Amino acid sequence: MSTVTETLAATWRLAAPYFRADDIGEVSVGPLGRFRLREKWAGRGLLAAVIAIELAIVAITVALNAWNARFYDALQNRNWDSFVYELGFFCVLAAVFILLAVYQIYLNQWLQIRWRRWMTERLLGEWLAGANHYRMQLLGESADNPDQRIAEDIQLFVGRTLSLGVGLLSAVVTLISFVGILWALSAQAPLMIGGTTFAIPGYLVFAALIYAALGTLLTHLIGRALVRLNFDQQRFEADFRVSLVRVRENAEQIALLEGEEAERTRLMDRFANVMRNWWAIMDRQKRLTFFTAGYSQVSTVFPFIVASPAYFAGAFQLGGLMQTASAFGRVENSLAFFISAYTSFAEWRAVVERLGGFEAAARAARNVPVTPPVVAVARDGAGAVSARDVALALPDGRPLLKVEDFTVAAGERVLVTGPSGSGKSTLFRAVGGIWPFGDGVVRVPDGANVMLLPQRPYLPVGSLRAAVSFPAEPGTFPDAEIAQVLGEVGMAEFAERLDEVSLWGQRLSGGEQQRLAFARALLHAPDWLFLDEATASLDEASEAALYRLLSERLPGVTVVSIGHRSTLAEFHGRTVRLVRDGSVHRVAVASSQAA
Ligand SMILES: Nc1ncnc2c1ncn2[C@@H]1O[C@H](COP(=O)(O)OP(=O)(O)OP(=O)(O)O)[C@@H](O)[C@H]1O
């Protein structure tokens, strides 16, 4: 757990960039129309308005406090005119207060959504840029559950930072204003006990300060464990949710393997963490509430107890007593800001830590490809993809594959084989530029249009058109062209259903998904096509048909395939094998003849 200064520093790092953002945003101000201005000015303007309103509200509470004295004096003196006048005065203050309260929330929410949109865009950028999301996942735990970070934590961060920040400001200003008032009241009504006057300047202030400081300290001691507990709760909830999502995504396999019981047990195990932590939170919360509830009850009468000797000694009227009680309450309230804000403060700290951790993980992942030793991709391969003296390693540094010479000239067709786990897919990842772990340079021709088809193609949720066009936007390819390639890969019946929205990744059979991936390749027409067991789910005849289709439709394309089937060799000019060499594998035959 970080210290308070670390939390504040982390908050600053997270929050400040928005208020310095130079991108142009649009602000619509009701009937005044729309304005285009830099986002930082929209943010700063809204923040200034929120703060100004908060300060105006404090000014109204000060005015109400003075009104208290006059109003209760009017009641005590049975002064009708004064009573009516004060009622009118109150109505004016109340009307202004209502207006301020409404716009305080409205402008606050406006700022929240602009700030959140900006942060979401930035974090999404950091996460998705240059395959960073993939590297972050490889690097491990510190960036767990990015969905929660981006969807939930940003919202909480913006909301809590504003409410705590503005609340703190309001508490400080209120404190200063009412300490002044209480000080003046202490002079007006000195402390009298048993007929003796004690000349303690500002005794009401000290009574309020000691009372509130004691409350804050005890709250901190009882409630501080909640920081860790809230942090863990969010994590356990997210783990549970992710496990549920995985069941949904793998419903078919779980059903076929009758793995429901195992899944139920696993899910309930995850939920047990949620429960255990929840019980710990309940226990802490109970102790804290015992204290805070008791404290707030005592607070109702405490100022009267402190000020009553002066009242009963006749040092001031009912108005003075009520004003004292109200000022006392304000001082104590603003000092005890942390008491009521304790839980949200704890939650906020947890959010700041998670977001800070996520940003740090994104930075670390971004640095991996630029901190040697790395596997770099140079776009200077003269007509060939080549890896010479490249060592591929696992993310933890363990060596995986030695590549003395792996060269594929443009137009070649090469099959890569080797035992499971020898590093074939990892070799492709290195060529694709997403595997920086290891040492050496992979050279790819400048401007080469490379496409990789994995065994399980990714099909985004949406229309079939979007699925087949990915990674291009739907609409990039004319429907007629999509229909044609679908027909060519043996999926003619789907040409009518391009608008249909579905979880295509779950609905289509494994073989259909692989056909769809080939359709995608035909649409994008790359110069270099890397197929990682991309036909493994198809029967041999269909596999042969797809390879023949590739030759016809993309005659110049270079094809590098990973595959285990011997029948694949006939579609390739040569085979490259990965063989075991001690504890690692190496590319053994750089250019054997076709098997
Ligand atoms: N993110 C990772 N963290 C740790 N180990 C990994 C990671 N990714 C891959 N590996 C390991 O690296 C080795 C090579 O994996 P790779 O997928 O390249 O093998 P492969 O030759 O393509 O295997 P297969 O033929 O079974 O698909 C495997 O032992 C795998 O467990």
Give 10-residue mean pLDDT values along the chain (595 residues). 78 94 81 82 94 95 93 93 95 96 94 95 90 86 75 92 91 91 84 73 86 84 85 88 89 86 93 97 94 88 87 85 88 74 76 89 86 86 88 91 91 93 92 91 90 90 92 92 95 94 88 95 95 93 94 93 90 90 73 44
The torsion region of residue 383 among left (phi > 0), alpha (psi -120 to 50) and beta comes to: left
pLDDT at position 200, please?
78
423 lines ligand 1 (CB under 6 A): yes
- CA-to-CA dists, residue 7 to 13, 383, 437, angstroms: 10, 53, 33
CA 423 to ligand 1 centroid distance, Å: 6
Instruction: Assess whether the C-beta atom of 402 lies below 6 angstroms from ligand 1.
Output: no
Report the separation in Å between the CA atom of 420 and the middle of ligand 1, taken as the mean of its atom positions.
Answer: 8
Residue whose CA lies nearest to ligand 1 atom number 28:
421
For ligand 1, whether the C-beta of 393 sits within 6 Å is no
Distances from the Cα of 449 to the Cα of 94, 476, 523, 525, 528, angstroms: 68, 17, 13, 8, 6
Asked if 444 contacts 498 with a C-beta cutoff of 8 angstroms, the reply is: no
Does the global pTM surpass 0.80?
Answer: no
From ligand 1's centre to the CA of 397, what distance in Å?
Answer: 14
pLDDT confidence of residue 593? 45
- Nearest-CA residue for ligand 1 atom 1 is 138
Identify the residue whose C-alpha is closest to ligand 1 atom 8.
394
Distance spanning both ends of the chain, measured CA to CA = 60
By DSSP bridging, strand 191-193 and strand 196-198 are antiparallel
Ligand 1 proximity of 434 Cβ (cutoff 6 Å): no
Is the CB–ligand 1 distance for residue 392 below 6 Å?
no
Ligand 1 centroid–CA 372 distance in Å is 22
- DSSP string covering 496-547: GGTT-EE-HHHHS-HHHHHHHHHHHHHHH--SEEEEESTTTTS-HHHHHHHH
**Distance (Å, whole) CA 439 – CA 374:** 5
What amino acid is encoded at 192 in this protein? M
Q: Tell me, in angstroms, the distance from the centre of ligand 1 to residue 429's CA.
A: 11
Ramachandran bin of 131, using left for φ above 0, alpha for ψ from -120 to 50, beta for the remaining angles: left
Count other C-beta atoms under 10 Å from residue 383's C-beta: 11
- How far is residue 314 from each of residues 321, 449, 471, measured CA to CA in Å? 10, 92, 83
Here the contacts of 205-208 (C-beta below 8 Å, separation 24 or greater) are 205/179, 205/331, 207/306, 207/328, 208/182, 208/303, 208/328, 208/331, 208/332, 208/335
Calculate ∠ Cα 340-155-167, nearest 5°.
30
State the DSSP H helix or E strand holding residue 25, giving kind and residue range, or none if neither.
strand 24-29
Rounded Cα distance between 544 and 539, Å, is 9
Q: What per-residue confidence (pLDDT) applies to 484?
A: 95
Q: How far apart are CA 528 and CA 385, in angstroms?
A: 9
Q: Is 420 in the pocket of ligand 1 (CB under 6 A)?
A: yes
Structure tokens belonging to residue 308 = 């009553």
Residue closest to 543 by CA, chosen among 575, 576, 566:
566
Among 175, 238, 240, 163, smallest CA distance to 209 is for 175
Q: Which atom of ligand 1 is nearest to the CA of 423?
A: 18
* Whether the Cβ atoms of residue 423 and residue 586 lie closer than 8 Å to each other: no
| Ligand 1 centroid from CA 162, angstroms | 46
The half-sphere exposure of 247 on its side-chain side, counting CA atoms within 13 A, is: 17
Output the CA 421–ligand 1 centroid distance in Å: 5
For residue 47, the tally of other CB atoms under 10 A from its CB is: 19
400 in contact with ligand 1, CB cutoff 6 A: yes
Of all protein residues, whose CA lies closest to atom 18 belonging to ligand 1? 423
CA of 496 relative to ligand 1 center, distance in Å: 39
Fold of domain 376-592? Rossmann fold (3.40.50)
Distance CA 401, CA 579 (A): 9
The verdict on the CB of residue 395 being under 6 Å from ligand 1 is yes
Structure tokens at 150: 């981006």
| Residue matched to tokens 């005659």 | 555
Rg of the Cα atoms in the chain: 35
Domain boundaries, the chain: 190-315, 376-592
φ and ψ of 304, to 5 deg? -65, -40
pLDDT of residue 411: 92
Ligand 1 touching residue 253 (CB < 6 A): no
Residue positions counted in the chain: 595
Burial 281-294 (b: 16+ CB within 10 A, else e): beebbeebeebbee
Tokens of 188: 């007006």
